[in-house]
Amino acid sequence: MSSPLEVPIRDESIRLGQLLKLAGVVDDGSMARMVIENAEVTVDGVVTVRRGTQVRPGQTVTYAGQSLVVTAPESPERR
């Protein structure tokens, strides 16, 4: 398995299908739907079959041997 890829999101959460596209592990929404519905994706180690599942910073999504760690962007207030 490759090292985890950090994927910053701009909101409090992101839908699972959108995250897979943002991270570049799937080409489009159709592919995201297919791999999620085929139970090929886990969120924090649990198989997830709903592409609308909300994923939040701190959670880890795994697909095809690639782990994606969801992070929040650094806000100007925290600098």
pLDDT in tens, 7-38: 999 999 999 999 999 999 999 999 999 999 99
Angstrom CA distances, 16 to 22, 41, 76, stand at 10, 9, 26
Task: Say whether pLDDT at 74 is over 50.
Answer: yes
List the CATH number of the domain containing 25.
3.10.290.10
Residue 69 three-state SS: strand
Q: Which of 47, 46, 12, 52 is nearest to 32 (CA)?
A: 52
Task: Average the pLDDT over 62-79 and give the result.
Answer: 81
Q: Which of 68, 21, 24 is nearest to 42 (CA)?
A: 68
Per-residue confidence (pLDDT) for residue 32, from 0 to 100: 97
Per-residue confidence (pLDDT) for residue 79, from 0 to 100: 45
Domain hosting 39: range is 5-72
| 27-32 contact pairs (CB < 8 A, 24+) | none
Number of domains in the chain: 1
Task: Average the pLDDT over 57-72 and give the result.
Answer: 96
